[in-house]
Amino acid sequence: MRVKHLAIGIIWVIIGLLLPSSIAMAQQIDTVRLNEIRAKDIANQNDILKGNPTSTRTKSTNQFYRSIKDFFSRTKVMRGMYEWLFREPAQPVDKLNEEAKVAAKKIVNPNIRYDGKIIGRIEVKRVDVFGPSVNDTLRPPQNWFEYTGNRLHVDTRKYIIKNNYLLFAEGSTVDHQVLSNNERILRTALPNLLDARIFVVPRLNDKDTVDVLVLTQDVWSISVDGGMGGFQSANLNLDDKNLLGLGHDLRVGVSYEQIRNQQWGYRGQYTIPYVGKTYISAGAEYINEWDNHSYAIRLRKPFLAATIKYAGGLEISQNQRLVPLLFPTDTINFTLPVDYKLGDLWLGRSFRFFSGSQAFNKSARVVVAARGIYTDYAQMPEIKPDTNQYLGRTTGLFSVGFSRRNYFRDVYIYGFGRTEDVPYGGLINLTVGVEERKFLGRRTYGGINWVYAQYFTRLGYLYGNVNVGSFFRNSHWEQGALDVGVKYFSPLLGEHKLKIRQFITARYRRGINRFYNEGIDISNNSGIRGISRDALRGTESLIINLETVFFTPGNLLGFRAAFFANIDLGLVARKEGTLFNQALYQGYGVGIRIRNEHLAFNTFQFRIGYYPNIPGNRTLFRGDVAGLPSLQLSDLAISAPDVVPFQ
C-alpha cells in the first residue's frame, strides 16, 4: 500500500514539475470557478463572508477537494505541492464551529493573509472577450460569433494595464485593500474593461515575497448607433473605447435635421483614461450642432480610492448654446442664445486617520478641497431679474469633509451578470464660498451634503442623501436648493432560473428664492419616464419610482434579456403654487431590456407606457425604443466643491 501511495505521489510531483509556471497560475485561477468566486454566485459569496448560513457548496466539490487534501497531507513536500496547486473551498458557515463562524464574518478578502509581503513579479494576463471569463478562464467560445469576435478584437496592451492602471508596483508591499480597490477601479472606471481579478501567488521558496497576477477581460470596444426620423432627421455615432489597444476612447458623430437653419451637425470626443501613472484622465471635445457650438479641454483626477492623496480637475471651454426659459405663469418654452468662456480648476487633498481600528483608518479620510470658477459672457440676455444667472462671475469655493467607504460585490443590479461594486459607508461635506457677479457685486455661499449607504442582509441596499445650500446676499437666501433622496433595491430574489430585484426611489427637491426661469424637470429619466412636457417643470417636486426587474436565464449569442414593470408618480409646483395641491402625475410602463455585457453597445430597451393625466398629452399609450448607457451606483467619494444643483 505504501509503495502504491509513493508511486502515485511521484507521478503527481512529476506532473507538477513539468507544468509551466503560466499553467500553474491558470490552474490556481480556474479552481476559483469550482469553489470561490463564480460570477453567478457572487451574492452567495457575500453571504458566506457575512455569516449567512443559506449559502452552501455542492457536496461533490467539497468531497473532491477533501480527497485531494487527504492524499497530499502525507508528507511536508506534498503538502507544499497542495498549497501551491489548489485553493480550498469555503466551508458552509452552518457547519463551522463558533470560532470559525466569527472568522468567516471577518475575512472578506482572501489576499489579507499576504499583507506586508514584498511584491516580486507582476504578470498581466488577458481573457478573450467572448467565451471565458475572469472566473472561468477555461470556458471556450461557444459559436462562430464568439470565435470571430475574439479574432477581430485588439486586446488592451499589457504595458498599458501594468504601467497606467495599477495602484501598486513591483517591490512594493501587499495591501489587500489596495488590491481590492484596484480591482474595482479596473471594472468601473475604465470603459474598455469588462471585469478584472487580482490574485496573489505565493512563492514556494520565498515566504517573504509573492507574485501578483492581474487578470482582465476587455469589452468588444467598437460600437455604432443611430436613428432616422423619415427623411427629415437622422444621426449616426461611432465609438471605439479601446483605440489600437491603448485604452483610449474616440467618439465621433454626425446628425441631420432638415428644419434647422444649420442642418448638419458634428461632434467628436477623445479621452485618455489615465496619463501614465498619474491616474489623470485627459480629454478634448468639439461640438458643432444647431443648439450647441463648443470645444473644451479637460483634465480630471478623482479620489479613486482611499489611498489617493491628491485629486483635482481642470476645464477650459468656449460655449455657444441655446438655453430654455421657463416663464412663471404659462408653459411656453422659449430659448435664448448665450456665448461664454469657462475656466474651472479644483484641487483636493485627503488625510488619513491614525486612530481607531486598522480597518477604519484605512477606509476613512478627511478631505479638504478648493475650487475656482471663472465665467465670462460675450453674449447674454438683456439684464433682468429672471436672467441674472447669465452674468459674468468669478466663484471661489472651499470644502472640508469626512468620507468612509467600502465595497462589496454583487450581480444583477444594473448589469446583466457582470460584477458590480456596491459602495457602503457615509460622508458629510461642508462647502463655503464667495462669488463676485458683474453688476451685482459679492455674495457668499454655504452648503452641506450628507450621504449614508448600507447593505442589510435580509432587507437589501439603502442609500440616502440630504443636500442643501444657498447663496446669501444682505442677510437673505438667494438661489438656494434642497435635495433629499432615498434609493433602495432588494436582495436578489428567486432561485435557479428567474432572478428578481425590486427598486424604489424617492426624491424631493425645492428651490429657495430661485430666478423665475429656473426650473426642475420631472420628465423622462428625472421622474416620469418615457414622456417630456413643459408642464412637468417647476420649482418644487416630489417623485416616487418603483420598478421590478425580472432577469431571465440563458442567452442568445451572449445577449441577455430582462423584463421590467414600473410605476412613476410625481408632483410638481411652480413658485406660487403649493406642492400637495397639485395633480399627481402618473406613468406606468412595461418593457424588455436586452444587453450583451461583452459589447460596448448601450442596453436596448423597448417600452410601452401609459400616461393617464399628463397635460398636453393626447396619446395615453406610448411606445419607445431607446439605447440606455450602463448605470452605476453613486459612489461615496468626495469630489470638487460645488453648489447644490437645481435642474
Q: What is the mean pLDDT of residues 355-371?
A: 86
Output the CA angle 91-491-560, nearest 5 degrees: 95
Residue 40 in this model has a pLDDT that exceeds 50:
no
pLDDT value at residue 72: 57
Q: How far is CA 453 from the centre of its chain?
A: 15
Residue with cell 441631420: 256
Q: How far is CA 585 from the centre of its chain?
A: 30
135, 39 in Cβ contact below 8 A?
yes
pLDDT value at residue 225: 84
Q: What is the mean pLDDT of residues 569-594?
A: 90
Q: 26 falls in which pLDDT band (50, 70, 90)?
A: very low
Give the bridge partners for 286, in sequence order.
Answer: 268, 295
φ, ψ of residue 83 to 5 degrees: the values are -65, -30
Residue 20 in this model has a pLDDT that exceeds 60:
no
Rounded CA-CA distance 509/481 in Å is: 7
Return the SS3 of 573: strand
Q: What is the mean pLDDT of residues 524-537?
A: 86
Give the residue among 452, 464, 457 at the shortest CA–CA distance from 491: 457
- Sign for the CA dihedral angle at 56, 58, 62, 68 comes to negative
Residue 319 has which C-alpha cell?
A: 460655449
pLDDT value at residue 251: 96
Residue 64 in this model has a pLDDT that exceeds 70:
no
| Percentages (nearest 5) of helix, strand, coil residues in the chain | 20, 45, 30
Give the residue among 379, 427, 420, 425 at the shortest CA–CA distance from 403: 427
Q: 75 falls in which pLDDT band (50, 70, 90)?
A: low
Q: 333 falls in which pLDDT band (50, 70, 90)?
A: low
Q: 475 falls in which pLDDT band (50, 70, 90)?
A: confident
pLDDT value at residue 74: 57
Please give the C-alpha separations between residue 13 and each of 25, 31, 86, 142, 444, in angstroms, as whole numbers: 16, 19, 14, 34, 74
Range of 327-336, 356-365, 388-397, 408-417 with top mean pLDDT: 408-417
φ, ψ of residue 371 to 5 degrees: the values are -145, 140
Q: Kindly report the average pLDDT of the chain as a whole number.
A: 82
Residue 400 in this model has a pLDDT that exceeds 90:
yes
What residue type is 88 in one-letter code?
E
Output the CA angle 79-84-85, nearest 5 degrees: 100
Give the residue among 430, 427, 499, 438 at the shortest CA–CA distance from 465: 427
Q: Is 161 or 331 the better-scoring residue by pLDDT?
A: 161
Residue with cell 498599458: 160
Residue 71 has which C-alpha cell?
A: 492524499
- Sign for the CA dihedral angle at 577, 579, 585, 589 comes to positive
Residue 590 in this model has a pLDDT that exceeds 70:
yes
Q: What is the mean pLDDT of residues 81-89?
A: 48
Rounded CA-CA distance 564/491 in Å is: 16
Ordered alpha helix ranges (H), 279-394: 358-363
Residue 211 in this model has a pLDDT that exceeds 70:
yes
Q: Is 32 or 620 the better-scoring residue by pLDDT?
A: 620
pLDDT digits (tens, 9 = 90+) for 424-467: 999 999 999 999 988 778 999 999 999 999 998 889 999 999 99
Q: Is 483 or 307 the better-scoring residue by pLDDT?
A: 483
pLDDT value at residue 390: 77
Q: 45 falls in which pLDDT band (50, 70, 90)?
A: very low
Give the residue among 394, 392, 393 at the shortest CA–CA distance from 371: 394
184, 147 in Cβ contact below 8 A?
no
pLDDT digits (tens, 9 = 90+) for 533-544: 878 888 899 999
Please give the C-alpha separations between residue 371 and each of 98, 478, 631, in angstroms, as whole numbers: 52, 21, 28
pLDDT value at residue 30: 40
Range with the poorest average pLDDT among 319-323, 332-336, 584-588: 332-336
Residue 130 in this model has a pLDDT that exceeds 50:
yes
Q: 378 falls in which pLDDT band (50, 70, 90)?
A: confident
Q: 274 falls in which pLDDT band (50, 70, 90)?
A: very high
pLDDT value at residue 439: 77
Q: What is the mean pLDDT of residues 198-203?
A: 93
182, 198 in Cβ contact below 8 A?
yes
Q: What is the mean pLDDT of residues 17-43?
A: 37
